[in-house]
């Protein structure tokens, strides 16, 4: 899978939105095997990928949720899991 970073700045408003210090727009677009992201989308995708290091410590429902998120982001084919755990 290829990730392409889109350098367009989407939101620079300095109002306090949902407890964040500024409005954020997260852009993640899946195009077949390619993923296009902006800075915030890249940051989110990296953080989700980093969660994979804790996969074995997750509850069963946590692993199912992680697998579903990775499938949505194109990191896993549908109906596959990150790691087989007995």
Give domain limits for the chain.
2-72
pLDDT value, residue 48: 95
Q: pLDDT tens across 17-71, in order?
A: 566 667 789 999 999 888 899 999 999 999 999 999 999 999 999 999 999 999 9
Q: 8-32 as b/e, with b when 16 or more CB fall inside 10 Å?
A: eeeeeeeeeeeeeeeebeebbeeee
> pLDDT value at position 8?
52
Please give the pLDDT value at position 66: 95
pTM of the predicted protein model: 0.71
Pairing verdict, β 28-31 and 34-37? antiparallel
């Amino acid at each position: 899978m290829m990730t392409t970073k889109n350098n367009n700045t989407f939101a620079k408003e300095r109002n306090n939105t949902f407890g964040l210090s500024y409005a954020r727009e997260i852009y993640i677009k899946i195009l077949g095997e390619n993923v296009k992201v902006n800075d915030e989308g890249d940051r989110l995708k990296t953080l989700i990928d980093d969660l994979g290091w804790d996969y074995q410590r997750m509850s069963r429902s946590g692993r199912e949720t992680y697998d579903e998120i990775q499938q949505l982001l194109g990191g896993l084919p549908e109906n596959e899991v990150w790691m087989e755990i007995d």
